[in-house]
Structure 1
Amino acid sequence: MNFEHVSKLMAAFSRDVDEAMGYYHEDCDFADHPLEQYIARDKAMLRRAFVPFANKDPNNGMGVHTFEALEYLGDENAGLLQWRWTADNCGSIFGLPNPEAKRVSTNGMSYYQFCDGKIIREVVHSNQVKILKQLGYPVEIIHFWE
């Protein structure tokens, strides 16, 4: 895979869940450690987890989401994608209230393994502390080395 391929994948998440699912192998494994989501070889469940990200209705509280590929390091077998996620009009984010439905954005990365040109394994890490700060939660990061 390459940057162009993963850029199309990121755009698909914002457009159409079925289009995005076309990038995944039938036997894919998915892990999002910050959100404690682990889906093993259940593409139907993975699809349900991705549905909110393709929402287009700004008034239903699910938010309108945009993903942007920033950098891809890898090849057709495996690679690491750095991305940016932005959500507008979300009434809540990961179960935390966002009463003003203000825009939130963070960065993250996905590690991919590919089989027959499709994602067979994805492991996600994202900066949830940045989201907490944007929602107004008091978060203090102490840099002990300073």
Structure 2
Amino acid sequence: MNYAFAVKWLKAFRDSAESICELYADDFVFEDPILDQYQIRDKGDLARIFVLYANKDRTNGYGVHNFRIRGYEGDHRSGLIRWEWSPEDCANFIGIDVVDKPFFTQGHTFHIYDDEGRIVRESSWWDSGAIMTAVGVPGVQKPQFVAKTAVPA
């Protein structure tokens, strides 16, 4: 596919779960190992996963989810989409209280496409540590980098 398809795919998340699912072939495999989602092959199951991201109600605690494309590399058979994501008005994410704790993360999704341009394989990876650091999960903190100084010879 191409950059325009990647934009269409991310915009579909704000529209509806059905809009996203229309971009997948009938025979597909979806994986998001960070959320322990493996080998999803049913569009009904896929829609249940994606329905959260199309939420438009800022008062229900599910949040309004903003995605932005950072880049696309690929061709008509496969591609890697680099993206960033930040929700607004979210109360809970993966069991973590995030009320009034804004966060942002980046990720990438690898797609394989069929001859009609539909997704037949997807694998998404994203930085859950950035979220946990941003919302102050106990025991998770931003790594401190120490510059190495040159040792005289």
With structure 2 as the length reference, what TM-score do the two structures score? 0.88
1: CA distance, partners of 2:132 / 2:121 = 28
AA of the residue aligned to 1:141? P
CA 1:110–1:65 in 2, change beyond 3 Å: closer, same or farther?
A: same
Is the CA contact (8 Å cut-off) linking 2:65 and 2:88 kept in structure 1?
yes
Residue deviations 1:62-101 (CA, integer Å, cap 9, x gap): 110011111110011011100011101111111111133x
* Residue in 2 that maps onto 1:139: 141
* Residue in 2 that maps onto 1:17: 17
The percentage of counterpart residues that share the same residue type is 32
2: CA distance, partners of 1:68 / 1:128 = 17
SS in 2 for 1:28: strand
2: CA distance, partners of 1:144 / 1:31 = 36
Flag structure 2 segments of 5+ consecutive residues without an equivalent: 149-153
* Residue in 1 that maps onto 2:72: 72
Is the CA contact (8 Å cut-off) linking 1:11 and 1:66 kept in structure 2?
no
Matches within 5 A, 1:33-48: 33-48=33-48
* Residue in 2 that maps onto 1:106: 105
With structure 1 as the length reference, what TM-score do the two structures score? 0.91
2: CA distance, partners of 1:143 / 1:25 = 45
Q: Which has the larger radius of gyration?
A: 2
Q: Identify the structure with the greater strand proportion.
A: 1
Flag structure 1 segments of 5+ consecutive residues without an equivalent: none
2: CA distance, partners of 1:144 / 1:121 = 41
CA 1:123–1:4 in 2, change beyond 3 Å: closer, same or farther?
A: same
Matches within 5 A, 1:79-90: 79-90=79-90
Structure 1's consecutive aligned runs of 4 or more residues displaced over 4 angstroms after TM superposition are 142-146
CA RMSD of aligned residues (A): 1.7
